Structure 1
Amino acid sequence: MLMTFLRVPLVALAMAAMCLAAQAETLKDIRKVSVAGDGSVSRDVVALTGQQLKRSVRSTRRPVALPKVAMEVHLANEIRGAGAQAGRNSAEVTVLLRGGSGAPVASERFIVNSFMTGKAADRALANAISQRIAVTYSLAPVRAASTGSRGNTKAYRKHQPAARRQAAPQAAAKSTGPAAEPIIIPSEAALTVKPRVRKPKAETSAAKTPAPCVVTVTTNCN
């Protein structure tokens, strides 16, 4: 009976030791992140995943000195659900950590699933990939990145005609500025005209109301 009672804590301690050892192998000071993908992966997924992971790495603080490594993320075999599986998307993720000499020190491979349809499908898949990597390597929480970036906006404006780019700020200035009120200069005749002031109507008072006629010996009301 005593052996059975002691066996449970011993098993728990062994599992905890195994978890600590596994975490010690994956816990590194990641200083650089690069994300790439094959032809099946959307460019937006690759770009958004790289943005979120870089933010997470910059926000991560290690309490002790750890080996500095560079993280290389490769995305492949992106699958978009269709028909009854619409909205179910997945991608194969391979993470490789390289030491200061460039030699591989650790690697991980897994499949990430996301559930979203329409234009937000790429963002949902990028969020799922970034969060999975952040949890696996004990990074700071991932903040979702927006689909529209400043780089894309600059590239769009760069390809626009010069006349349109110049007309846009002018139109914005006209629309945002306050509307100029017209200036009215009165003529000399208008300045000499006396204003008409309408006199208020005199109110009939109770004193001016005729008194009722009373027939007497000397007064006839007809």
Structure 2
Amino acid sequence: MLMSFLRVPLAALAVLAMSITAGAETLKDIRKVAVSGDGSVSAALVKMTGQQLKQAIRSTRRPVPLPKVMMDVRLSNVVRGTGAQAGRNSAQVTVALRDGSGASVSSENFTVNSFMPGAKAGDKALANAISQRVAVAYRLAPIKAVTGGKRSGKHKLRSGSRSTTPSAVAAAEPRAEDPIIIPSEAALTVRPRVRKPKADVSASADAKPAPCAATSATSCN
């Protein structure tokens, strides 16, 4: 009963020990990476793969000191699908780690597949797939896809100058979807209040009645 109870923990410890041993063989402090290719590899594929791997290496932090190595990535036998297989691309990848003296530490080969129609988009997708495969195998930071070119600074405005671009003019004008406020009928019929001048009370009190002149038509009584 006790032996059957201990079998599961012992098996888990054995698997953990094997994974640690396998990880110790590939886990290195990679400082530099160089990517090259044969005649079947485009220059854009080599460039984008190198950019992504360099970014991943710069972002990787090892918790403990590890042997410092250099990584050589060789791309070859790139196959681009045609016809019904258009967009299905693949490449052979060889990764070699070398120490400071240039001696080989380890080497690994694998095939990477990707799917994306179009020459430029296909190269970008394949470069991303290759970089992710290498990053997972050698415990690097997650891969960030290569973005487009740098933003041009031609459209930057100088301080103190007004923008005369169509977007700025459109921003200054009221939008069509802005609500229109319609005054109510009561607001339209309200008349402004005008203050009447106050009567001079003191003047009216001091005023004396005019003398009465009796006539045949008027009586003073």
The verdict on a shared fold, with TM-score over 0.5 as the criterion, is yes
Counterpart of 1:13 in structure 2 is 13
Task: Give CA deviations for 1:34-56 in whole Å, capped at 9, x if unaligned.
Answer: 00000011211111000000111
Query: What does residue range 188-203 of structure 1 map to in structure 2 within 5 Å?
Result: none
Aligned to 1:86: 86
C-alpha distance in 2, partners of 1:65/1:82?
A: 48
Alignment correspondent of 1:45 = 45
- Cα distance in 2 for partners of 1:5, 1:103 equals 48
Describe the superposition over 1:7-61 as per-residue Cα deviations: whole angstroms up to 9, x where unpaired. 2332222111111111111111111110000001121111100000011111111
Counterpart of 2:213?
A: none
Task: Tell me how far apart the structure 2 counterparts of residues 148 and 40 of structure 1 sit (CA, whole Å).
Answer: 25
In the alignment, which residue of structure 2 is the partner of 1:61? 61
The 8 Å contact of residues 123 and 147 in structure 1, kept in 2 or not, is answered as: no
* Corresponding position of 2:137: 136
In 2: Cα distance, 1:17 partner to 1:77 partner: 37
SS at match of 1:109: strand
Indicate the structure (1 or 2) with the bigger Cα radius of gyration: 2
SS at match of 1:65: coil
Shift of 1:63: 1.3
Higher helix share: 1
| 1:70 paired residue number | 70
Give the direction of change, closer, same or farther, for the CA distance of 1:149–1:107 in structure 2 (3 Å limit).
farther
Query: In structure 2, what is the equivalent of residue 122 of structure 1?
Result: 123
Alignment of 1:24-43 (within 5 A): 24-43=24-43
Letter paired with 1:125 = L
Return the alpha-carbon distance in structure 2 between the equivalents of residues 147 and 81 of structure 1: 25
Deviations 1:69-127 (A, max 9, x none): 00000000111111222211110000000001110111111001101111310000000
Instruction: Give SS of 2:143's match.
Output: coil
User: Would you say the 8 A contact 1:78–1:89 is kept in 2?
Assistant: yes
Q: Match of 1:18, as an amino acid?
A: M
How many Å separate the matches in 2 of 1:105 and 1:127? 25
1:105 — aligned with what?
Answer: 105
Q: So what's the TM-score if we normalise by structure 2?
A: 0.65
Identical amino acids, percent of aligned pairs: 67
Cα distance in 2 between the residues matched to 1:178 and 1:3: 83
SS at match of 1:61: coil
- In structure 1, give the amino acid aligned to 2:145: A
Q: Is the 8 A contact 1:48 1:147 kept in 2?
A: no
Which residue is 2:146 aligned to? 145
Distance in structure 2 (CA, Å) of the matches to 1:51 and 1:129: 12
Q: Which runs of 5+ in 2 are unaligned?
A: 155-161, 166-221
Could you state the TM-score of these two structures normalised by the residue count of structure 1? Answer: 0.65
CA RMSD of aligned residues (A): 2.3
Report the alpha carbon displacement of residue 6 of structure 1 after superposing the two structures with TM. 2.8
Instruction: Tell me the distance in 2 between the aligned counterparts of 1:17 and 1:52.
Output: 32
Per the alignment, do residues 59 and 97 of structure 1 end up closer, same or farther by CA in structure 2, a change over 3 Å counting?
A: same
